[in-house]
Structure 1
């Protein structure tokens, strides 16, 4: 089978690229021809160079939306793939519809993101409905999205697959990995709390900063490490100074992929703030499986996909309540040993197998026996 992934923008701006990077190597290992199409930037080249043996990467330069559409259309027509997968849905990925079988992924519900303008939400709503009518298959990254799109598919014509985000975690490396993790975490009595993500109010950065004084009040020696950047970074730093907690929180900014693992391995507790909004119910926070592979406690909320990943192993606080977050941070910081997350079911290898079975059976593409992975 010949599969082609179309991406939009850069890795730091478009998390759905993780889907292409996660699935593609395992699809290629199963004997299929796989191409990833991405914008030609240093960031994208570096990201896709980290893995994907046997996967063709095609990079294009673009100066406009129209130029990008034309370039992708030429690539799709020249490769003649059986399946084209749009990592993220938008005008720039319209060439997905040129394929014999088109698959569109939805990882969020932008039409209900009220931080956007009304015009942008209406445009997003139109595109969301068009994907139901035009695509052969939809991949939904959360159960919430799966339910919403099942409801929208009034004629029942579009095949749909619920497929969360995963991790690369080879079973052969588990013993060695666990030995490394047991020696990980911070040194001494100070507990290191790590947040990875964009710095937006809606992603919880202000609640994170406001939780620090409450943790200090519990006489817990603590260090917060913030990995990422965003428009609310300076305001968050100012808030830290106004609360006199600037010595307890380090804003490291955007961290390159080649050193990110070192930061994550040093964590004692991970943070994944969520809110009781449609936006957070719909999205699949890809940082959760990334955190899980380091087997440390995760402080978050029972919103959307989070509880599907963590079950009873999560440390859940009340959304929008920094004091509640602080209480769970203190509880999590007292955790000893590694957390027994169910990592097998979210390995990209397993998810790629599920995707292939869906493509071959539900989309009726290439009725061949799956190669052993």
Structure 2
């Protein structure tokens, strides 16, 4: 047994959080006793305690934030109290592995460090950039506060896990970490969990083509850009040969449903909410083009979009805006509209719909990238290297 690892997550339940679940299983297979503390899901992952495939999961009830920054303060305060309560019940651990956001879990990690644990900071998001992109309030007092919390988290961490090279650069520069303290563990889907099934033509609602969006629906995720692009596809380009499905949920879900009605898209755009994996495979196997409408903002430009990686794992061609890390991930598996240009985004969708050979070529490129240089097998090795560095500190 390598030791006892405790993974802390606040923004998603586990195993619904694919990255955290893959990390948990990788550590379990390497001989670690793995415990996860996370919130309960609304409709899935609802048990308070469960052991799944040898991973011990401890969940707490959490009401999602509403009403802007103050709502998040209430959410995070509740999450911290529950996380600390459950961590105390578990007793001593060798490694505490905190996944942000928020950059507050160092408070729990600090208490465990005083009992001999080492702290791995798994930086899923750059929270200062997330704040700027989500709320549009500029570099105000709250922005300076989240910068301070990020600095405290970096300072407390023995090892930092970054999701891509851009995040690693921030850990080295803004975080002041040393190169041997930062490990890039890319968010790569397990190709075993993303598999082709027989296309379901009924999903297309009688249209020749299906467009698909998969992911969270928050203010920074660009679902509104996608909907306006689809309105342009219909109105400006005269295309009436498609149906679109948006899979996922989030705090702008209802607003996006309302926007689709305002744009007159209610009869051709379907919102599924969160769906089981088997349904997701059915939608993605049927899709002709997948949408990554994340707009250019301080966060999105340097973040790896899970949706793009998952589209690629399914061999689907992608339309994206021109973002730095989107291009690193997708390469020639995507086409890129100028940042935030909805009309050009629509034109690229139309171009791909008219070119089945290009769609096939792009899909093959994406599948090869996710199975090769961007595979989870490579990320596994990086994760285990990070833990080897931690073990040296424990020795």
Q: Partner residue of 1:20? A: 20
**For each residue in 1:16-42, what CA deviation from the matched residue of structure 2 results, as whole angstroms up to 9, or x when unmatched?**
x43321111122123322222223456
Q: Partner residue of 1:339? A: 364
Structure number with greater CO (CA < 8 Å, separation at least 6) is 1
Q: Does 1:360 align with 2:388?
A: yes
Q: Please tell me the root mean square deviation across aligned C-alpha atoms, in Å.
A: 3.4
Answer whether contact 1:11 1:43 (CA < 8 A) is retained.
no
**For each residue in 1:288-340, what CA deviation from the matched residue of structure 2 results, as whole angstroms up to 9, or x when unmatched?**
22222211111112313211221122111112111111111122223343433
Match of 1:91 among 104, 107, 120: 104
Match of 2:9 among 7, 30, 46: 7
5+ residue gaps, structure 2: 63-76
Task: Give the Cα–Cα distance (whole angstroms) in 1 for the partners of residues 324 and 48 of structure 2.
Answer: 29
Matching of residues 26-41 of structure 1 within 5 Å? 26-41=26-41
Q: Does 1:324 align with 2:348?
A: no
Using the TM superposition, give the Cα deviation of residue 275 of structure 1 relative to its aligned residue in structure 2, in angstroms.
Answer: 2.3
Task: Give the Cα–Cα distance (whole angstroms) in 2 for the partners of residues 41 and 240 of structure 1.
Answer: 26
Answer whether contact 1:10 1:44 (CA < 8 A) is retained.
no
Match of 1:102 among 116, 119, 129: 119
Task: Give the Cα–Cα distance (whole angstroms) in 2 for the partners of residues 30 and 104 of structure 1.
Answer: 19
Match of 1:128 among 135, 141, 150: 150
Answer whether contact 1:191 1:222 (CA < 8 A) is retained.
yes
5+ residue gaps, structure 1: 368-373
Match of 1:204 among 222, 240, 244: 222
Change (3 A) 1:242 1:24: closer
Task: Give the Cα–Cα distance (whole angstroms) in 1 for the partners of residues 38 and 219 of structure 2.
Answer: 30
Answer whether contact 1:284 1:304 (CA < 8 A) is retained.
no
Using the TM superposition, give the Cα deviation of residue 150 of structure 1 relative to its aligned residue in structure 2, in angstroms.
Answer: 0.7
Answer whether contact 1:6 1:36 (CA < 8 A) is retained.
yes
Change (3 A) 1:50 1:354: farther
Change (3 A) 1:155 1:148: closer
Answer whether contact 2:304 2:329 (CA < 8 A) is retained.
no
Task: Give the Cα–Cα distance (whole angstroms) in 2 for the partners of residues 39 and 214 of structure 1.
Answer: 39
Task: Give the Cα–Cα distance (whole angstroms) in 1 for the partners of residues 319 and 109 of structure 2.
Answer: 38
Matching of residues 1-373 of structure 1 within 5 Å? 1-2=2-3, 3-11=5-13, 17-41=17-41, 43=43, 45=45, 53-60=53-60, 64-65=78-79, 67-75=81-89, 78=91, 80-88=92-100, 89-92=102-105, 94-97=107-110, 98-99=112-113, 100-112=117-129, 113-114=131-132, 115-116=134-135, 118-154=140-176, 156=178, 159-170=181-192, 177=195, 180=197, 183=199, 190-216=208-234, 217-219=237-239, 221-257=241-277, 259-333=279-353, 334-336=355-357, 337=360, 338-341=363-366, 342-344=369-371, 345-361=373-389, 364=392
